[in-house]
Structure 1
Amino acid sequence: MLGLEIPVDPDAETARRWLTDELADSAYQETEGLIPRILRWISELFSGSGSVDLGIGWLTLIGALVVAVVVAIALVVAGPLRRARRARTAEAVLGETTLSAQEWRERAAAAARSQDHATAVLDAFRALVRSLEERALLDERPGRTAAEAAHEAEPRFPAHAPALHDAGRVFDEVCYGDRPGSLGDYERMAALDATLADERPAVLA
């Protein structure tokens, strides 16, 4: 819902003040192109010398137009945000770090004890990926993403393919702030790591 209330019967001064306040918002100041020109034109209708006689019908119409412009701005801003969010998922899991799987596990457990569940979840997944690299089930590739790691590990552990897929998804959601991370998330991630560590991988043809 938009936090915008339209007066039922605004006078010209009220409508002018309302538009001026809206135009002062940083979202409008940062948006270039057709939308600001429309807003300036509407504002000029109220800031003129009184040559334009606006009745209630016109005020209502202009108020509705302002609402439509606000919605348009929201859509314009939301597009880049959605694209940025999709782009974030390309970030690597391990990067250039050289910690061993056991070191990642210890870091994850320490974070869980301090109730930093987000860090615990991320480090537990890193431990899982590093463990697979140490066992030569995955090649050591610093740029590998969570989704790639899960996808590449699935043929080795087909019975755990859904769990691997979920683990990669949870890593991304926690890493990019879409999910806070919980003790349960960490425990499931650590349990999957332990299960895979004890299980014989499938032999690839």
Structure 2
Amino acid sequence: MPIWGEGALLAGGAPVTVPRDPARDAARDELLNPVYHQNDPSILQRAIDWIWHQLDNALATVGSTGTNGTTGLIVFALVAVLIAAGVWWRLGAPRREARTAALLFDDQLPRTAAQYRADAQQHADAGRWSEAVRERMRALVRALEERTLLDPRPGRTAAEAATEAGRALPAQAAALHAAARLFDDIAYGDRAADQSAYQLIGDLDQALERTRPTLSPALDGAA
């Protein structure tokens, strides 16, 4: 790095006098050169180092002989807050990966597929798309139960209904699983419902009514 300031030498060795302020500015500009900062720690690393430094100070305070019980509890609480803040910043908000699937039917009095469809249409007319999607999916599954393609089961989930119905209606198996995922996403609030979501499940409901089940080989031979 060049030497700046009063009394600096030219390349040939002749002395030259540089005013103090320009010399300071030139030195500062030189130090800002990225080549001198390639190995500097990142902002995140400096923040982590600061947190650990604070933790060391807090633990040292707790371990001192002059710390009473109340002060120790306060310090430990501060330590816990610092650790939680550091983990949250580093990893972000914890996300729940595993979740229990939403049940299809949560009403006390069973309703028919026609009743579910009517309720779904009322919600759709009012622009309540989340409720409309849930009611139309329930209508779809209840219709399959009424056709004896599914055994009535109160604790069934949308995914279970799609898997079971897909065996009898293999041509619609993929669409059934897509509708089940859509129902779960909307039921958990991960996805906003809209008219297109309602239309998708409504179209599938109508298509299933026109689809004949595929009998198993044993049942087909008996027929």
Question: Please, what TM-score do these two structures have when normalized by structure 2?
Answer: 0.58
- 1:190: Cα distance to partner? 0.6
**Kindly tell me: are residues 146 and 42 of structure 1, through their superposed partners in 2, closer, same or farther at Cα, counting changes over 3 Å?**
same
Q: Which of these residues, 198, 201, 204, is aligned with residue 210 of structure 2?
A: 198
Separation of aligned partners in 2, 1:126 and 1:73: 39
Pairing 1:149-188 to 2, within 5 Å after superposition? 149-188=161-200
**Kindly tell me: are residues 142 and 69 of structure 1, through their superposed partners in 2, closer, same or farther at Cα, counting changes over 3 Å?**
closer
CA contact (8 A) 1:88 1:176 kept: no
Amino acid at match of 1:149: A
- Which residue number in structure 2 is paired with residue 114 of structure 1? 126
- Which residue number in structure 2 is paired with residue 82 of structure 1? 96
- 1:204: Cα distance to partner? 2.4
- Which residue number in structure 1 is paired with residue 103 of structure 2? 92
- 1:97: Cα distance to partner? 4.1
**Kindly tell me: are residues 176 and 69 of structure 1, through their superposed partners in 2, closer, same or farther at Cα, counting changes over 3 Å?**
closer
CA RMSD between the two structures? 3.0
Separation of aligned partners in 1, 2:141 and 2:195: 20
1:41 aligns with 2:47: no
CA contact (8 A) 1:101 1:127 kept: yes
Runs (5+) with no aligned partner, structure 1: 1-5, 7-14, 20-34, 46-65
Runs (5+) with no aligned partner, structure 2: 1-42, 44-49, 63-81, 218-223
1:72 aligns with 2:87: yes
**Kindly tell me: are residues 193 and 40 of structure 1, through their superposed partners in 2, closer, same or farther at Cα, counting changes over 3 Å?**
farther
- 1:73: Cα distance to partner? 3.7
After superposition, give the CA deviation of every residue in 1:16-52 in whole Å (9 maximum; x if it has no partner): xxx9xxxxxxxxxxxxxxx9x949818969xxxxxxx
Separation of aligned partners in 2, 1:40 and 1:115: 57
1:130 aligns with 2:145: no
Equivalenced residue count is 147
Question: Please, what TM-score do these two structures have when normalized by structure 1?
Answer: 0.63
Taking every aligned residue pair, what percent have the same amino acid on both sides? Answer: 36
CA contact (8 A) 1:108 1:124 kept: yes
After superposition, give the CA deviation of every residue in 1:67-95 in whole Å (9 maximum; x if it has no partner): x85241465961xx515xx3332x31013
Greater Rg by CA: 2
- Which residue number in structure 2 is paired with residue 54 of structure 1? none
After superposition, give the CA deviation of every residue in 1:130-173 in whole Å (9 maximum; x if it has no partner): 00001110000000001101111111111111111100000000
**Kindly tell me: are residues 43 and 97 of structure 1, through their superposed partners in 2, closer, same or farther at Cα, counting changes over 3 Å?**
farther
1:142 aligns with 2:154: yes
Separation of aligned partners in 2, 1:147 and 1:185: 17
After superposition, give the CA deviation of every residue in 1:107-140 in whole Å (9 maximum; x if it has no partner): 1111111000011111110000000001110000
Amino acid at match of 1:133: E
